Structure 1
Amino acid sequence: MSMARKVIITCAITGSIHTPSMSPYLPVTPDEIAEQAIAAAKAGAAILHLHARNPEDGRPAFDPAAYRRFLPRIHAATDAVINITTGGAVSMTLDERLAAAIDVSAEMASCNMGSLNFAVFPILDKLKTFKHEWEREYIEGTRRAIFRNTFADIEEVFARLGQAHGTRFEFEYYDVGHLYNLKHFVDRGLVKGPIFLQFVLGILGGIGADPENLVHMKRIADKLFGETYQWSVLGAGRNQMPLITQAALMGGNVRVGLEDSLSIGPGKLATSNAEQVEMIRDLLLRLGYEIATPAEARAMLGLKGRDNTRL
């Protein structure tokens, strides 16, 4: 492994997991999302993974109009790759989850590679007061919800977004079996390289945030896809920095952001997405790696380019 290799930093700005009561720094309004995204790009993030929120109460939103309140501003201010979620929130239909990415003919979008019990309800053991009443019911609802991503759902994502718009995907894997799901689609000719795998560790309902699990997932990915893929790691909560550092040392790329973790250290809330980007960027540089620019990330991932979107 060359110590001068390029590492792609992805920053997931807000997500749909955390709620406003969990951190005063979680961006929810269009201005907050745009400002934090632009700052994260300036700090070194080549890819910005984006969800929308209702600015009145921070509830996850899917309407393309909600995205268009901040996407053009981000697109104008930075050349970072804009990666639109197709995961949305557990409560959304597939049509709702796809709407924004289709609307802007996204350069990149997330694609979840299997169904799972996506649970955050244990947070209620610690979080007792709420800024908005919807938060309690939303969090409790994950006790009985299934994050649905059937084979038919995934095929629809490929057809309506990948084939129709030339969008490429950040394939998200919450367990080892999800890697085999992608291999199924590769074997059918529905997915071609370069492939970008995002290993997600530490979500209750998915694979645990153990270093051994990351090694195992990488081993299985090597077995299934050889050397034809790029990969990155998302560590949930307090597992964020340890796991992504391990990923970098193993030859992977990294993902940070307030969607994945609200902290910057034990017992300390991150005050912005850029703060997390700066931390991992500085660590990577100290380890002898180089930070991939947006143009380099586009080349590594075979993206269609920002000028081929509807932004």
Structure 2
Amino acid sequence: MKSIFLTCALVGSFSTRQQNENLPITPKELADDALSAAKAGAAIVHIHVRDPETEEPSMEVALYREVVDRIRQANDELIINLTCGPGGRFDPLPDNPAVAGPKTNLLPPEARVEHILELKPEIATLDLNTMVFGGEVVINTIPSIRRMAELIQSVGSRPEIELFDSGDISILNMLMAEQVFEKDPLCSIVTGVKHGFIPTPETMVYARNLLPSSAVWTGFGTGAQAYPMMAQAAMLGGNVRIGMEDAVWLTKGVKAPSNGAMVEKAMRLLDDLGFAVMSSKETRAAYGF
């Protein structure tokens, strides 16, 4: 079995403290959770930020900067992956669907990567999906995707391509033919998001087989399937992801107390399955970060 790396996804755009009171919200909480995840074995941390007062998702560069600075002051080897997902949501008004409703946050590609251009993390997510997402629609047009990829790579960051369904992989393969990516693509197969890939072994095999042969891929699931799909990805030759963005529960009836605790459990499971998990330093050396 080849060595694999583990990404910890700290907090996403939808989880709330009503679901789990231990969710990290402030920059200090996010940085502390990132460092505990690294100590437990995560090579990469995937980061969204929240407004500390409202607890709502935010794209404020200052919040990203504080989280990154706090991490870097304590650990300069941990690989940082910042989201570029927000900025693609359209909320049509019920009586006039051509008009944007209050949850719309559509932004030009330059605005969606502003924090990447300033902070230059090792990795920045690049979503290829256009799909129903909650009560709204996520829209990622081909010109926007191309421009975001260009901007991300212009500062030395590496796009991590998030794939929610087979059509997204079709777009990826088109972009590969256009030679949009400077290095072998980092890809994440996302399962468990409603109306996207369902979290089953058959789905992950199918998605993996559609990927470009040069892809460095991670697979993961959300909700109750977070740990089963993590194990599935490892057994299929992929890397893995776990964290409080993807799941509320550490085990049945026990809410996750921290991202570090989720990584600790993941490391135990992967060790029991016979997998060697690379450190941040080893992952940097293996994949050129």
**Pairwise same-fold verdict (TM > 0.5):** yes
User: What are the superposed Cα offsets for residues 279-309 of structure 1, whole Å, 9 maximum, x if unpaired?
Assistant: 1111111222211111222233332xxxxxx
Q: Distance between the aligned counterparts of 1:176 and 1:151, measured in 2?
A: 16
What stretches of structure 1 move > 4 A for 4+ residues in a row?
none
SS of 2:144's partner is helix
User: What are the superposed Cα offsets for residues 183-220 of structure 1, whole Å, 9 maximum, x if unpaired?
Assistant: 11110111243221100001012111122111111122
2:62 partner amino acid: A
Q: Distance between the aligned counterparts of 1:232 and 1:83, measured in 2?
A: 13
Distance 1:175 1:32, change over 3 A: same
Is 1:55 matched with 2:45? no
Q: Distance between the aligned counterparts of 1:199 and 1:55, measured in 2?
A: 30
Is 1:87 matched with 2:102? no
Q: Distance between the aligned counterparts of 1:31 and 1:22, measured in 2?
A: 21
Is 1:117 matched with 2:132? yes
SS of 2:175's partner is helix
From 151, 156, 160, the counterpart of 1:170: 160
User: What are the superposed Cα offsets for residues 107-145 of structure 1, whole Å, 9 maximum, x if unpaired?
Assistant: 1111112211122xxxxxxxxxxxxxxxxxxxxxxx1x1
Q: Distance between the aligned counterparts of 1:44 and 1:239, measured in 2?
A: 21
SS of 1:7's partner is coil
CA drift at 1:77: 1.3
Q: Distance between the aligned counterparts of 2:199 and 2:223, measured in 1?
A: 10
CA drift at 1:96: 4.0
Q: Distance between the aligned counterparts of 2:141 and 2:206, measured in 1?
A: 24
Corresponding residue of 1:40 = 37
SS of 2:18's partner is helix
Q: Distance between the aligned counterparts of 2:146 and 2:222, measured in 1?
A: 27
Corresponding residue of 1:306 = none
Any stretches of 5+ residues in structure 2 without a counterpart? Answer: 90-103
CA drift at 1:71: 1.2
Aligned 8 A contact 2:7 2:46 in 1? yes
CA drift at 1:20: 2.4
Corresponding residue of 1:240 = 226
Corresponding residue of 1:301 = 287
CA RMSD after TM alignment = 1.4
Distance 1:267 1:96, change over 3 A: farther
Q: Distance between the aligned counterparts of 2:23 and 2:68, measured in 1?
A: 17
Aligned 8 A contact 2:45 2:80 in 1? yes
Aligned 8 A contact 2:161 2:186 in 1? yes
1:156 partner amino acid: R
Q: Distance between the aligned counterparts of 1:32 and 1:114, measured in 2?
A: 30
Corresponding residue of 2:137 = 146
Aligned 8 A contact 1:194 1:301 in 2? no
CA drift at 1:181: 0.6
- The normalised TM-score by structure 2 is 0.90
CA drift at 1:28: 0.5
Q: Which has the higher strand share?
A: 2
Aligned 8 A contact 1:236 1:261 in 2? yes
Aligned 8 A contact 2:220 2:233 in 1? no
Distance 1:193 1:161, change over 3 A: closer
2:220 partner amino acid: L
CA drift at 1:95: 4.2
Is 1:18 matched with 2:15? yes
Q: Which has the higher helix share?
A: 1
